[in-house]
Amino acid sequence: MSAEPTKYWQAINLGLREEMERDPKVFIMGEDVGVAGGTFGCTRGLLDAFGAGRVRDTPISEQAIVGAGVGAALVGMRPVVEILLMDFLGIASDMVVNQAAKFHYFSGGKTPVPLVIKTAVGSEVGMGAQHSQSFEGWYAAVPGLKVVWPGTVSDTKALLKAAIRDDNPVLFMESLSMLSERGPVGGPDDVGELGRAEIVRSGSDVTLVGYGAMRSKMVDAATLLDEDGVSAEIVDLKTIVPWDRETLFGSVARTNRCAVVTEAPRDYGPSGELASEVGEHCFDDLDAPVTRITSPSVNAPHFAQYDAWRVPQGDTIARAVRRMLGHAA
């Protein structure tokens, strides 16, 4: 691990740089990734280091960006394509859903698609209803795609490296709300494992499970619950597809209760899928129905302080757990 804390955008930059140095087939393209160094700084300095052939500014066309990435992956390259915000990825849905996710299947397993679609997601920064949405559930429902949303600076770098090395198309999400965070990161050989969850904190009374920016909110909630004598275990999925059932189910078997925490809205969201899986597979272990703690099904407001109300926070998670346990909320 690095001695000094690394900024979130620097961790992404470092992961890209290390993989581009390691493998000449890796390149990045997207809007403002070259000369401008990325809207959030994530590609700063890469153009000078690797040249315009491997750091490519593109027109404002999400369909063209992802489509070109699919084509490059099919001929043996390892493209990383950047879509500034997840809200804009819907414009390229045909390329993502009907092309990238299906070529391996169409070719009878002969043609891999080693493509990373890198995009910023989430809320709490006051960017409004068209720039703050969590659509991970949309893409998690598409066979053939891997979906990753890390929750720490260290995991962001390590799992980005793993995504680039994977032979499947990976949707890699970065949290807008974490842009100002700092943390330690590993060296060039520290590569994460897609599909492996982490038990962030051991506990005995309830399992809190989530991913992405909700990891820190669950930690805040567990600290508050400690004051009530409630011991919360925290499971960070890290990878939404494929997700680590073994780790989550094992945790629920120990705690006998489960609360699913997501930034995505409740109605038809990923929280329902996770709650259903736990309900089906851990029925005999559960002492209470699975609780879901999510954003309400409303659009994100433009004011950051109201958006913070909309997204689950440590205190709202703790209150929901207290209700589950029959404590005064």
Set 18, 31, 131, 136: catalytic member: 131
User: What's the one-letter identity of residue 98?
Assistant: N
- Cβ neighbours of residue 109 closer than 8 Å, sequence gap 6 or more: none
Tokens of 221: 């909630």
Residue type, 78: R
The sign of the dihedral angle between the CA atoms of 142, 81, 185, 127 is: negative
10 SS3 class? helix
Contact criterion met (CB below 8 Å) for 145 and 158? no
Residue 30, φ and ψ in degrees, nearest 5: 165, 180
Closest to 269 measured CA to CA, from 101, 134, 170: 134
Give me the catalytic one of 19, 31, 62, 263.
62
Q: Which of 135, 57, 147 has its CA nearest to residue 91? A: 135
Read out DSSP for 272-311?
HHHHHHHHHHSGGG-SSPPEEEEE-SSPPPSSHHHHHHHS
Active site residue 131: yes
Sign of the four-CA dihedral 258, 134, 175, 273 = positive
* Residues with catalytic roles: 62, 131
